[in-house]
Amino acid sequence: MRSDPADYRFVAPGNLQGVMSLLAEQPGEWLPIAGGTDVMVQYAAGKLNGRNLVSIWNLPELQGVQVLAEEIRVGAGCTYTEIRKHEIVGREFPLLARAASWTGGIANQNRGTLGGNIVNASPAADSLPALLAYDAELILVSVRGERRVPYGGFHSGYKKMDLAPYELIRAICIPRVSSDYFQYTRKVGARKAQAISKVCVAGLGKLRAGTNGNVIDEVRVALGSVAPIPLRLTELERAVKGRAIDAELLQFAKRNTMAAIQPIDDIRSTAKYRSVVAGNLVAEFFEQLRMPTHSQGTRMCGAPGLVDVLARWNVVDAATAANEILPCCGSRAWAAAMAARRPLAAEADVLATSDEIWHSPSEAEWLEAFRSHPRIGDTGIGDSGKSGARDLDGKTVKAVGWSEQEQRKVADAAALTKLALADGNREYERRFNRIFIVCATGKSPEEILFILNRRLNNDEASELQEAWEQQRQITHIRLRKWLQSQ
């Protein structure tokens, strides 16, 4: 830590009027702090400009998502967790919901706010391309009153924006017209989760019937991490209007994108990589837009199965949702908690939520999940009586099918290995009074036997912990399979 708290003043008036008065009395002297996920990083590095912090965290006037007939108004103080869980945001504005689920880890999503992301103005900020594509507008507030400005144009250069030192962002307004559009977003980072983007794309598009097939009616394409500020490709958007999507258009879109952006080399990537990836992603957006199933209605691209499964699952009733997801884990309490956490916007969101719930201290829930598996080597439906599998309704059959896939290699094991596994299973059940759980996917029968023999030496507490972790991994694999199913 390179800053000393004694050098700073921190006040929390607790209402908008109090904050605005302070900002107006001494413009530029007070730095608003919302979730603090950017401010505290600068503070810790000793790079914070100014010494006076005024808290805007939890200001009632900056909270909540207001759903109006024409638009939604997302309070600038809304956290990513609130945004990614909001039903209307998930359904109508999946680009924003998905950006929220991509931003940092769960702790960061619980603190970081949309207003903070806009004002921090990182070129790599995840939510900004979505706001550009949605034609969002900002409500700015100060003692002088409110003004409303388009988000496109709010950022004019690196960390430069149309915000006076005495102003706050109060809300982000997003027009509710997007349900007619195909929606596409991709973030390319060093890892699937918890990585700052190398390139991020958000696109909306719709087609209309032309004389020789469908042509582009309208597209909106925005990119992050490829210029000092997030960019809308307005020239490309105009140029493709009315054109059919063919190989020539895809090449044109790629070239045009690469010419419009100004990527840089930095620690995360090279300008060349960013340029090629940005061109490819924009071409992919058009390619997906061309697909007949995407020609109308809100559809998200990426992994089409995932999007369809989640979109449907997010809106079915809670009991149906819990039943559907149950075979991924086997614990009814876990399934009900997952259903209660909807809407979930993306795979990363589903997996993180599953982990959070699975950390529940209830041993009974763990044991219920363990019991839902067939014994290693006993995967057939015919074995279900022995294996402890429950009633063979459609969902349980699905779990049995997954178990068969997971244990495929065990089915082909040499007779001696099978016998040794059966002996080991019996010994395990005698010692721990439950079946042996291992994430079998990708493991050879010999590896599983080795793990089984090793774990027979565990004491009860550490063995329960190992089984818990194995179940967590199995659940991840099954959730991914479920999301990819049609």
Ligand X SMILES: Cc1cc2nc3c(=O)[nH]c(=O)nc-3n(C[C@H](O)[C@H](O)[C@H](O)COP(=O)(O)OP(=O)(O)OC[C@H]3O[C@@H](n4cnc5c(N)ncnc54)[C@H](O)[C@@H]3O)c2cc1C
Cβ of residue 194: shortest distance to ligand X, in angstroms?
A: 7
What tokens appear for 330 in the block? 């086997």
Rank residues 103 and 183 by Cβ distance to ligand X and give the closer one: 103
The CB-of-268 to ligand X minimum distance in angstroms stands at 11
Q: In what order do the strands lie in the sheet with 52-55?
A: 9-11, 52-55, 30-33
Q: Which is nearer to ligand X, 21 or 108 (CB)?
A: 108
For ligand X, give the closer residue by CB, 120 or 470: 120
Q: Which C-beta is closer to ligand X: that of 39 or that of 456?
A: 39
| Buried/exposed 323-354: b ≥16 CB within 10 Å, e otherwise | bbbbbbbbbebbbbbbbebbbbbbbbbbbbbb
Beta partners for residue 53, in sequence order: 10, 31
Cβ distance to ligand X smaller for residue 99 or 250: 99
> Shortest Cβ contact with ligand X: which residue?
116
In this complex, which beta carbon is closest to ligand X, that of residue 35 or of residue 374? Answer: 35
Pairing of strands 213-224, 197-210: antiparallel
Largest CA distance in the chain: 83
Nearest approach in angstroms of CB 210 to ligand X is 38
Residue 113 per-residue DSSP state: B
From the list 54, 104, 99, 96, the residue with the least C-alpha distance to 74 is 96
Helix (H) or strand (E) holding 128: helix 127-133
Shortest reach from residue 172's CB to ligand X, in Å: 10
To the nearest whole angstrom, how small is the minimum distance from the Cβ of residue 1 to ligand X? 15
- Let me know: does 113 contact 76? Beta carbons within 8 Å: yes
The contact set with ligand X (CB under 6 A) reads: 31-39, 41, 56, 62, 76, 102-104, 108, 111-113, 115-117, 119-120, 125-126, 168-169, 196
Nearest approach, Cβ of 305 to ligand X (angstroms)?
Answer: 25
**Closer of 54 and 253 to ligand X (Cβ):** 54
Alpha-carbon gap, residue 184 to 149, rounded angstroms: 25
Rounded to 5 degrees, φ, ψ at 9 are -110, 140
Mark out the alpha helices in 210-362 (DSSP H runs): 234-240, 247-260, 271-290, 304-313, 318-325, 332-340, 347-358
Report, in Å, the least distance between residue 145 CB and ligand X.
Answer: 16
